[in-house]
Amino acid sequence: MSFKTSVIGLGYLGTTQAVILAKMGHSVIGIDTDKAKVESLSSGKLTFFEPGLAEMLGEMLSSGRLRFVASYPEELREVDIHFLCVGTPREENSDEVDLSAIIDSATALAKFLSPDALVLGRSTVPVGTAEKVRRLLSEETGSKQKVAWNPEFLSEGTAIRDSLKPERIVIGVDDKESETILRQLYKPLTDSGVPLLAMDTRTSELVKVASNSFLATKVSFINGVASVAESVGASTTLLAEAMGLDPRIGSQFLRNGLGFGGGCLPKDVAGFQMQAQKAGASEFASLLQSVSNINRSRVQQTLKLAETLIPELSGKSVAILGASFKPNTDDTRESPGLTVARELFKIGALVAVHDPVVKLDNSLEGLVVSSELDLVIKEADLVIIATDWPTYKELDPFVLGKTVRSKYLIDGRGVIDIPGWQAAGWTVLALGEGTPSHG
Ligand code: UGA
């Protein structure tokens, strides 16, 4: 069964959503008020990097099922499902979620909403947002409107796979009709074995922030273990491998290092903490506060390791490898590697940053960012691996050793083979790896 759909908000989530809906055979109108973005997408150019998505965008534009517009068109009155995919960032100087884009887009949509249409929220939102949108639409249109929530769980870098083969589909529905529509929409996926869980909108809104907060807690747990391992001379990599083999623990999200970044985990932990505090769950709020604190402490630990190698960093050249918050994306939001870069810059180091895909007009608040590795590491006094891009695993310590000024390296992501680099004459310090002392 194919639906007439609209996707409102063409950021990372909305663009992926629009392309995937067209791929599933639905007709899609993608809407964003940013004209430049709409022009770029209409000509087949993505506004961010995501493996495989540009090719699929081109294919879907040619199929005739997908188009992009910069204002709300009349045809919206014929649309069956409107996907709300606008951004829900943190409010400035607070951990509250800024819902203004949700409110603005719902208000604009109300003028073109047919009474039978379903408005489906996909953005990550605080509890009660679906009900708020439903009230707003009913007031604006003067009739009862169907609003459901369907949190997305896709990760940057694996968005296509996560959309077409998700581990689960969660639908938040407060009425039977919305549930029937969503079960029809997702039939091709559920027929292929993907579990679909239907629940009320409030629970569905919580599932998303609770899931992201749990993932963040796992990362901070292993990073907390790492600070103990560092001081007692143990290896977090080996320890995590042993822990992860217990299926009750699981090996995913147990990689220690510079910690989590991006537009989702840090924001969702902070938002969920606020929600917990308001709900009177203060012990849980403290747990989430510790998760954020441990995460930030990894940047400090990296700076400490840098000072162990070079006590006076001012005037020294530091090469940071990796600007994106994780591999396979050009997203630099809350990138731990860039935080390290900025901190080193503040204390007078000469910082150059390499990234295979991030382009920041070659400069970021005084930092040089380049995709030319040779340029970035030339005559460096210290190299820091900040993102686990697969290409950094392949680096040859002998070749690199000829370009740098001093063979000092900090592995912030457990990327390199430490003995191999030491054999090539490098002094290596790695987050989470203490030096064992025997005797
Ligand atoms: C995250 C969730 O994984 C998705 O399920 C969710 O849909 C998405 O947020 C969202 O809310 O939209 P994403 O932000 O793309 O996805 O990135 P992750 O793969 O979760 O990685 C987050 C951070 O944790 C990265 O900085 C990564 O380097 C770090 N990380 C991850 C670790 O430090 N150690 C690990 O073992 C795993």
User: What's the CA-to-centroid distance between 266 and ligand 1, angstroms?
Assistant: 10
Residue 94 has pLDDT above 90, yes or no: no
Ligand 1 pocket mutation, candidates 222, 264, 325, criterion most atoms within 8 A of CB: 264
Protein residue whose Cα sits closest to atom 35 of ligand 1: 253
- Asked whether the beta carbons of 142 and 176 are under 8 A apart, the reply is no
When pLDDT is cut at 50, 70 and 90, the band that residue 367 belongs to is confident
Q: Cα dihedral angle (312, 313, 317, 321), rounded to 10 degrees? A: 140
Q: Which residues line ligand 1 (CB under 6 A)?
A: 124, 152-156, 212, 215, 219, 253-255, 257, 259-262, 264-265, 325-326
d(CA 145, CA 137) in angstroms, rounded, equals 6
> pTM for the full model?
0.95
Residue 437 has pLDDT above 60, yes or no: no
Protein residue whose Cα sits closest to atom 10 of ligand 1: 264
- Asked whether the beta carbons of 240 and 275 are under 8 A apart, the reply is no
Protein residue whose Cα sits closest to atom 22 of ligand 1: 260
Residue 398 has pLDDT above 70, yes or no: yes
Output the pLDDT for position 439. Answer: 45
d(CA 405, CA 90) in angstroms, rounded, equals 42
Output the pLDDT for position 364. Answer: 63
When pLDDT is cut at 50, 70 and 90, the band that residue 438 belongs to is low
Residue 334 has pLDDT above 50, yes or no: yes
- Asked whether the beta carbons of 306 and 382 are under 8 A apart, the reply is yes
Helix (H, G, I), strand (E, B) or coil at 14: helix
- Asked whether the beta carbons of 22 and 28 are under 8 A apart, the reply is yes
Protein residue whose Cα sits closest to atom 20 of ligand 1: 155
Residue 361 has pLDDT above 70, yes or no: no
Query: Positive or negative CA dihedral for 270, 274, 276, 277?
Result: positive
Residue 43 has pLDDT above 50, yes or no: yes
When pLDDT is cut at 50, 70 and 90, the band that residue 301 belongs to is very high
Ligand 1 pocket mutation, candidates 205, 214, 215, criterion most atoms within 8 A of CB: 215
User: What's the CA-to-centroid distance between 173 and ligand 1, angstroms?
Assistant: 27
d(CA 299, CA 282) in angstroms, rounded, equals 27
Q: In the chain, pLDDT over 70 holds for what percent of residues?
A: 97
Atom of ligand 1 nearest to the CA of 223: 33
* Per-residue pLDDT tens digits for 217-272: 999 999 999 999 999 999 999 999 999 999 999 999 999 999 999 999 999 999 99
User: What's the CA-to-centroid distance between 355 and ligand 1, angstroms?
Assistant: 18
Atom of ligand 1 nearest to the CA of 219: 34
When pLDDT is cut at 50, 70 and 90, the band that residue 281 belongs to is very high
